Structure 1
Amino acid sequence: MTTTDPAPDPRRPRRAPAGAAVLREDVTEAIRAAVFEELASVGFARMSIEGIARRAGVGKTAVYRRWKSKLSLVLDLVSAFAAQGLPAPATGSLYGDVRALLEVASHALRHPVASQVIPDLLVESVRNPEIAQAIKAALLDSQHGMAALIVRDAVARGELPASTDASRLLDVAVGPLYWRLVVVRDDLPKGYLDQLSRGAVAALRV
């Protein structure tokens, strides 16, 4: 006589496989929020897993289940920020595209990762190649890809010479914006993005 296992009852909650760790998303988000607060309060060098766990209201084990160290935790946060890329603007003109780029960048640079976390990590990146690579991805790689598309379209429309370097767009447009919002931490006066866009377009055409 053969027997078969009874069919699973769809009304019963499905259990995780034996030995599998079930990580609650609300706990993960609480830990990520605690990292921002800890970095803003004490900086990366003095930040500790104990301090993060205390702010998140969890035990250290909950943190270590998700990240092996404070470095891997912070790199994960920065990488997630870098992954929030937006498609390049397509307004039909170089000025319009540059203005749209600066609008997006101004919002991104006000994000806690850019305004609080990255400046501190830039100091640490001098001593740590992993941090340096993560910062490069967050600050440069995604923005460079967008700038390259803007320059390519402008060249196709005859607004810029084919020899134009996309990196110059970041230098003359996003660079001053980063300085003002992240380094100086000053508000943008009315019309600033318009003036910066016109200046960037003029500089690219020189």
Structure 2
Amino acid sequence: MQFVDAAPRAARRIRYWDRAATEVTKDSPDPDWTVGVLMAIAEDGLIYIEDVVRFRGGPMTVEQMILATAEMDHQTYGLNVTIGIEQDPGSAGKSDAANYVRLLSRFNTRVFPVSKAKVVRFGPFSAQAEGKNVRIKRADWNEAYLRTLEKFPTPGVHDDDVDATSGAYNALKDTPQPKPRAAAAQLGPGSLD
């Protein structure tokens, strides 16, 4: 992947969260991470990893950090950043996702149910990286992020960055790109049906 100083301002963006909720304790010295990947797809189709937030904490800490990150993204990009909340299977996953939609009601928040295996979900992003279509903003999180991606799918290695990355890419890829207003005006009334 190529390193850059910034992504183009004109891009579709999502901050996609893979959530965990376990604090580091004596009984749980290496729990999963909560990871939020800010990804953009520019008009030329290039993919930019702009920011990665990763931390460990209990449910309240996770909620507070996700809300604080949403505020930060809003200050930087306005409402042009979708917040992606991964929904785990079952009724508990639905309830948890609904709670996040309420918590983030001021923002463009979408829920994404998970149904495919991790390796399958990561495949499309991995192919783009192999095709040299991914750029990464230079930052202090780069090394930990890339190390995690490179180790996937090694058993016993945390894959939280992988899940947030594949979730972000698949969400952006599956979201229709809005039609430019100028082109829509040239088509005439009723032609967008």
Q: What's the TM-score, normalizing by structure 2? A: 0.27
Point out which structure has higher relative CO (alpha carbons under 8 A, 6+ apart).
2
- Higher helix share goes to which structure? 1
Which structure would you say has the larger Rg? 1
